[in-house]
Amino acid sequence: MEPLNDEELNDLLRQWQAQPAPASLTSKILRAGRRPGWRWLLTGSIRLPVPFALAFGVLLVAVFLTLTHPARPRVRSEFQPVKRLEPHIIRSSYENDN
């Protein structure tokens, strides 16, 4: 059998008819549209880029650690603020050699 040219292929394409879709397919499509929104919470999914998911995970861990480990109290040292400031200028001995 020789290969068909473009005109013969076009004639065959015009004569071809697709098979009808099965009735079960139509019923599945109609049932999917009537699903309640709360069921999506149990069975749904969300596509999320990996870097965003990792950043979100790190943020959750940081928040968890911050909330579960209270801040340590500051240790008071023996240093006290100066009550009266009296500055003294101390000059070196080589400044008088002019």
HEC string for 28-72: HHHHHHCCCHHHHHHHCCCCCCHHHHHHHHHHHHHHHHHHHCCCC
CA–CA separation, 70 vs 68, rounded Å?
6
How many percent of the chain have pLDDT more than 70?
Answer: 89
pLDDT (tens digit, 9 = 90+) per residue, 32-57?
666 677 777 788 788 889 999 999 99
d(CA 14, CA 11): 5
Provide the 3-class DSSP secondary structure of residue 77: coil
Measured CA to CA in angstroms, residue 91 lies from 73, 85, 96, 98 at distances of: 43, 19, 9, 14
pTM above 0.85, yes or no: no
